[in-house]
Chain A
Amino acid sequence: MKLYKLDAIILKSRDMREADKILTIYSIQRGKQRVVAHGAAKPTSRKRGAVQPFCYSSLMMHQGRELDSISQAELKEGFADLRVDLDRLTAAAYLAELTDNFVGEGEANQELFALLLSTLYLLAAGDVEMTLRAFEARLLLLAGLQPELNSCNHCGVPFKETKVWFGSEQGALLCQGCAAQEKKVAAFSRGTLEVMKTLYRFELTKLQQLKVSELLRKELNLLLRAYLEFHLEKRLKTIEFLDRLNKNRAQEGTNI
């Protein structure tokens, strides 16, 4: 009977049979992993509170034939402030879905773990939108997919015009001349690229000081989404609900 310990963030929880749950977790020791939490849906379960999505918990694991199971769980941080706000809670769901889809199982990455954890802290208290953008930008970096923001991906000439183009085929930015020969391109302002560079330069905790206009925020969202969807080859499900909340906020007072 093999036991081992994990410091993990719970990304996702699914009902299995009876009161069992299948969790997707991301731990500092083993990266992404699917595990079983037996009896976690029972009201009397002692681990229940520590295995809810977006909890940071210390887990005692028990090696199983297919999936390992959680024998004990202790909550380290429950991010309570995250759970009482619809925008923050939805952002956390997006964070979890993105991580789940972007990383493979069993690849430990301490930097990514640290990024996830600090992003959850920021989502519970900080600027939700910019926190998500910073996470997306850094996720690309950690995956070795950092976007080239200074010169055209096709001809290599440094960007000079006020606009650049994202080519859906290349999954990269192009100059005006190269973009003209592509069918599927979307225009972005150079200002957006500058904000994105700042996301890489700034410490996460200083994001609050970053003042970014509504327009640039919108563009930045679309640009990072374009990069991520190019690599994921699909759209994440949480995005639809996230967009709906943003739209409702923009037209404050209107329902649904």
Chain B
Amino acid sequence: MLYYSGPVARLVDEFAKLPGIGAKTAQRLAFHILNSPPEAAQSLAKALVEVRQSIKRCSCCCNLTDEELCPICRDTTRNGKLLCIVEEPRDVIAMEKARGFRGYYHVLHGAISPMDGIGPENLTLKELLKRLQSDEIEEVILAANSDVEGETTALYLARLIKPLGIKVTRIAHGIPVGSDLEYADAMTLNKALEGRGEFG
């Protein structure tokens, strides 16, 4: 049982709203703050407020940034013919870390999930269509996740974009590097086979 009053209870409640944080962890975090010097709490509060005030969506790719245009969209050395569409900002980070892609991105901020009532209107499709009409984009690479929502999103986007005369491709799904074939499940194995490329 939790018996805290006023501010402590409120802080625990706020922490418990965060993803992956249960009641116990929320309590631990709250007491950590209470046991730290006042400056620590000040600086955390300031960081929270600032991030919310200064971070917005890039006016071009919809990724999160504190400027009008994000650093990637400002980079003129990238290949403007390639546009990679991802679900979340963290997917851009993953792609950039892998360093294999030198085109531009578009962040959807979600995936279509009809069962949850999340439709195309909840994604950044208006911004995407505007880019496709004005930019010199020749190929759109659909890098939505390979779960049902990601596939639904990719199929919907393909249907939307193909009539514009732009090449649409989907990233291949297959066997993780370094893993044994025998451990792969049937669905992954078949996907890997479908997405095979010429070799040697």
Contacts and interface: CB of A to CB of B under 8 A. Distances in A.
7 contacts: A46-B185, A50-B186, A53-B148, A78-B186, A83-B151, A89-B148, A90-B114
Interface in A1-55: 12-13, 17-18, 43-44, 46-50, 52-55
A247 to B, nearest CB: 13
Contacts of A12: 115
Which label, helix, strand, loop or mixed, suits the secondary structure of the B interface?
helix
Contact of B114 (A18, A44, A240): A240
Interface of A: 12-13, 17-18, 43-44, 46-50, 52-55, 75, 78, 80, 83-86, 89-90, 93-94, 96-97, 237-238, 240-242, 244, 253, 255-256
A24 to B, nearest CB: 10
Given A83-B148, A84-B155, 16 more contacts: A13-B148, A49-B186, A49-B188, A52-B187, A86-B159, A89-B151, A89-B152, A89-B155, A90-B114, A97-B114, A237-B114, A237-B117, A241-B112, A244-B120, A255-B160, A256-B125
Nearest to B185: A49
Contact of B179 (A44, A78, A237): A44
A94 B148 CA distance: 13
Given A75-B186, A80-B187, A241 B151 contact: no
B20 interface: yes
Contacts of B186: 49-50, 75, 78
A132 to B, nearest CB: 13
B114 A86 contact: no
A94 B116 CA distance: 11
Interface string B108-121: 00001011110110
Contact of A85 (B20, B120, B155): B155
Interface string B12-34: 00000000100000000000000
Nearest to B148: A53
Contacts of B119: 240-241, 244
B163 A75 contact: no
A112 to B, nearest CB: 19
B197 interface: no
A255 B125 CA distance: 11
Closest 9 CB pairs of A and B: A49-B185, A241-B114, A86-B155, A49-B187, A237-B117, A238-B114, A78-B187, A53-B148, A75-B186
Contacts of B169: none
B37 interface: no
Nearest to A78: B187
B156 A18 contact: no
B163 A255 contact: yes
A50 B179 contact: no
A3 B181 CA distance: 28
Contacts of B120: 244, 256
Interface in B156-200: 156, 159-160, 163, 176, 179, 183-188, 190
Contacts of A97: 114-115
B97 to A, nearest CB: 15
A94 B152 CA distance: 13
B147 A52 contact: yes
A93 B187 contact: no
Contacts of B176: 43-44
Interface in B87-129: 112, 114-117, 119-120, 125, 129
Nearest to B19: A17
Interface in B63-85: none
A43 B120 CA distance: 27
A256 B152 CA distance: 14
Contacts of A93: 114-115, 148, 152
Nearest to B126: A256
Contacts of A17: 20
A52 B176 CA distance: 18
Contact of A75 (B148, B179, B187): B187
